Structure formats: C-alpha cells, structure tokens
Amino acid sequence: MTKAHQIARTILIVVVAVGLWMPLAAAQGNGPSTEELKKKVAAYLRYMFAFGPDVKVAVGDFKESGVANLLEANITVTIGENKEDARMWVSKDGKYLLRGEMVDMSKDGFAENRAKLDLKAAPVTGAANAPVTIVEFADFECPVCQRLHEALKSLLPKYPQVRFAFKDFPLEQMHPWARTGALAGRCAYQQDPKAFWKMYDYLYGNQDLISAANAWDKSVDYAGQAGLKTDEFKACMTSPEATAAVDANIANGKLLEVTSTPTLFVNGRRVVGADPNQLEQVIQYELQHLNKN
C-alpha cells in the first residue's frame, strides 16, 4: 500500500461529527442549495485534512437517508492514482457532517447484505439447505487469506450446518499475480465445479512458490494435477468470459463495500480478517439463534 493510499484511507476512516466551519452567506429558506452544500462539505474536508490542490474531493449526489433532515452522499478522495470512497451524512441546514455507520434498529441489520450477495456462479461446498452460509471474498495471493484457508480446514468440518461459498476479490495494486490466480480458480470451476476446490487448495498451499513470472505456468500445472483438460483450461484463462466472471465478483464485493481480504459474510454478518475464534463465535451464535427460533 502506498503512502498516498494510506493517507486517503486513514482520512476516510476518521469519524467526523462536528459543525461545518464555513459560514454560509446567502443561505435562505430551509437551508443551502444542493450545489452550495456540496461545496461546503468539500471545503470543510479540505480544511480539516489540509488537502492541497493535488487532492481531488468529489461529493456525490445527495439522497434522503431515511432520517429527518439528514442527507446521505458518497465522498471520493483521490490522491494520485489512489482513490477511496466513504459514505457520509450531512444535515440539510449544512451544520453537521457525520462519518460512520447508521443503522435502523427496527430492521434485520444483515438482510441488505444477504440480498446483495450473488452466489449464482460461485463455488459452493456444503448442503444447499444449510442454516448458516459463509461467503468469503478473497485473494489467492493474500497471506492473511492463506492463513484463513488453513484455519478453515479444521473449522468447517466441525460444522456440517455450514455452507461455504468463495468469491474472487483480487487486490491487483498490491498483489501482481492475484488476478491470474482468480482466473485459474474460475476456469477450474467452469470446467468442473468440484475441481475448483482442488485449485483453491493448490494456490493457497503453494502461495510461497508462485510469482507474477510463473503464475500462469503454475496454474496450468495445478489444473493438470486437478484432472482438468489443460488445453481447455488455457483457452479459458484468456477468454473474455473468465475475465467478466472475475470482474463480476469484484463488482459484487464493491457493492457490499468490501475493501480488504479476507472479508466474510456469515448469514450476511460481516467478518473481516482471519481470526478463527471470531469466526467460530459468529457461527455458534447463528446456530444458537436459529435454534431459539
């Protein structure tokens, strides 16, 4: 991660719940106009974080948040080639700006995540009617994902009530062969869904031996070991269909605001990182909760 990327990311993790500093001359009626409000938010963020002219701050269109007098907008900060997005809320009178998370306690907090998860073309293992579904967004070159892979080997067999699905989320700026690994997994799945899990194990099990220079050859070798037709596999690796499938997974992750790997959703509940104790705690909670119902 570059220093500029770290700065942008840190800025958008900060929680802001303070009055906007700029006075709004010419504010009439119920408050500033949409364009005035956008300018005010952007100017405040520039002041707060001492952004120079090389930093772009874009305030997206406002929409109703569901809370009276509070608007929601997407804020994008761009530093060089690095871009970070954050959702913020601003009061209609232009006085308060909030960065954080707002939830409606009258609703199922994870129903929206479950609705957004697209598993139609995802490799899945476990019973179709399992009461707990874990969806992992991961990167085959990610060392933390590799640690989670090792933990799952012993964790998942303990819970036959769990169905596990995998979604590609290669972090290409950080991991030069991550997309090749994602394509390899996708092409294994397209030729034989069961072979995906062999490729999954090969890529994580040999992560230290794979590089950007040999990732293609290693993937073809692993495809042969998985019993796949290597000519068909190689054709798939360069196909627009495989690329589109990986891109669709990335888009689905972004829709769910995935920003790092591994990110998992346990019945829609977000779990970030490779802590098996945390994951097991969530699984047990879900099973206990279902039993109570």
* Residue spans of alpha helices (H) in 23-141: 34-49, 111-116
Domain definitions of the chain by residue range: 3-99, 111-292
In sequence order, which residues have a C-beta less than 8 Å from that of residue 159 and are 6 or more positions away? 132, 283, 287
Specify the pLDDT at position 291. Answer: 66
Residue by residue, pLDDT tens for the chain (293 residues) are 454 555 455 444 443 333 343 333 333 456 789 999 999 999 998 888 888 889 999 999 999 988 899 999 999 999 888 888 888 999 999 899 887 777 788 888 899 999 999 999 999 999 999 999 999 999 999 999 999 999 999 999 999 999 999 999 999 999 999 999 999 999 999 999 999 999 999 999 999 999 999 999 999 999 999 999 999 999 999 999 999 999 999 999 999 999 999 999 999 999 999 999 999 999 999 999 876 65
Environment class of 292 (CB within 10 Å of its CB; exposed 0-12, middle 13-18, buried 19+): exposed
Specify the pLDDT at position 30. Answer: 62
* Residue spans of alpha helices (H) in 12-58: 34-49
Q: What does the block give as tokens for 152?
A: 């799952």
CATH 3.40.50.1370 at 111-292, yes or no: no
Specify the pLDDT at position 17. Answer: 36
Classify 105 as helix, strand or coil. coil
Q: Tell me how far apart the alpha carbons of residues 208 and 127 are, in angstroms, rounded to a whole number.
A: 32
In sequence order, which residues have a C-beta less than 8 Å from that of residue 130 and are 6 or more positions away? 160, 161, 162, 163
Closest by CA to 135, choosing from 172, 169, 108, is 169
Query: First and final CA of the chain: distance in angstroms?
Result: 45
Q: Tell me how far apart the alpha carbons of residues 168 and 138 are, in angstroms, rounded to a whole number.
A: 6
Specify the pLDDT at position 249. Answer: 98
